[in-house]
Structure 1
Amino acid sequence: MGEAETAREQVVRAADELFYTRGVQAVGMDAVRTAAGVSLKRIYSLFSSKDELVVAVLRHRTQMWDAGIASASENATTARERLLAIFDFLDAWFRESDFHGCAFINTHGELSASSQAVADAVREQKRSFQEYVGRLVDEIGGTPDLAAQVAILAEGAQTTAAIAGTPDAARHARAAATTLLDAAVPAHV
């Protein structure tokens, strides 16, 4: 790994932690510099603006999300099990001591009105997740409407868990998803 990649990763990881725990607008580039151990000059040679850094952090979060979903479903043998594993992943995540809600939703709330690039990055992650759910629902013979409903359950669970401060939303959303799947898809699938 080259020096530029190492510095870039250090900055993204440091910014991610700061943005996630304190909010993007509350964190200045000096705080990122200190946390990353990388000079401001170097940071601005890697990222032309704070918005560009925020987008890089969101891409990093997308990779974390995708890896978490993949890990949670690695023992699943059917598409239905992979769908329900999403809620198991959420349950484990909600129980982490540093859970502060969905970074994409949080960042969208803070910056979408002022940054098209940030809004686009958030929308891309949400679209990608919805497509993943859609593929699994299609695989079990469900409809696009069912896929949207399951995705909304996962998204709503994230917001509810963050606001309520408890992981219960994942369990409730999993139960609702199970009910939806049982009602919409024949048992033999």
Structure 2
Amino acid sequence: MPLDDDTARARLLDTAEDLFYARGVQAVGMDEIRGGSGVSLKRLYALYPAKEQLVEAYLRRRDLRWRGSLTEFATAVEDPRDRIAAVFDWLGTWFREPGFRGCAWINGYGELGATSAVVARLAREHKRAFADLVADLVADAGLPDALAPQLFLLAEGAMVSAAILDDPRQADHARAAAAALVAAS
């Protein structure tokens, strides 16, 4: 029985996400995505006529899941100030996941940002949304607005450092620095 479009898209995106995140977009060919997903090449190109469209769909879906998971985790914490620390706790859990390779948007921007306006735009949208989330947490905690970009930079630095150094403790270091900034506010 042929796959319906939603199932085929889900299989393609699952495979693309695994491969793109693990190896990079340019290192993965459409034929490899076809093989890993079990979706025919004809169907793949019917759903995603260009690789850039598949990359865009992958980044958009990952963004929704990433921000949704982080928001759910942080807002489950009762004390608004502790929600800020929860961001770094969530990052630490993510950094410890098997196959962690850093931020998909930083990686994508580094790989394709100079040549793909779509990837550059999606990376900027993701980072702005994350910065807005941090700013909302800062505002909810009644802290000065100026603290938000500082905490955002700590989180971003932790992401890059954890990936490059292969050291999930970067989240713990960033959490301690964030706590000092919050206490000084």
Band of TM-score, shorter chain:
over 0.9
Shift of 1:84: 1.1
> Aligned pair 1:77/2:78, yes or no?
yes
Q: Does the 8 A contact of 1:72 with 1:88 survive in 2? A: no
For normalisation by structure 2, the TM-score amounts to 0.94
Q: Whole-Å Cα distance in 2 between the matches of residues 74 and 129 of structure 1?
A: 14
Q: Whole-Å Cα distance in 1 between the matches of residues 81 and 126 of structure 2?
A: 22
Q: CA RMSD in A?
A: 1.3
Aligned equivalent of 2:166: 165
> Aligned pair 1:34/2:13, yes or no?
no
Q: Whole-Å Cα distance in 2 between the matches of residues 148 and 110 of structure 1?
A: 25
**Secondary structure at the counterpart of residue 144 of structure 1:** coil
Q: Whole-Å Cα distance in 2 between the matches of residues 13 and 140 of structure 1?
A: 37
Q: Which residues of structure 1 form unaligned runs of 5+? A: 185-189
After superposition, the C-alpha distances for 1:58-82 in whole angstroms (9 at most, x for unaligned) are 1111122123213422530122222
Aligned equivalent of 2:157: 156
**Secondary structure at the counterpart of residue 73 of structure 1:** helix
After superposition, the C-alpha distances for 1:96-128 in whole angstroms (9 at most, x for unaligned) are 121111111001100111110111111111111
Aligned equivalent of 2:136: 135
Aligned length: 183
154-163 or 70-79: bigger deviation? 70-79
Between the aligned residues of both structures, percent identity stands at 47
Q: Whole-Å Cα distance in 2 between the matches of residues 82 and 7 of structure 1?
A: 38
Aligned equivalent of 2:96: 95
Aligned equivalent of 2:56: 55
Question: 4+ runs of 1 displaced by more than 4 Å?
Answer: none
For normalisation by structure 1, the TM-score amounts to 0.92
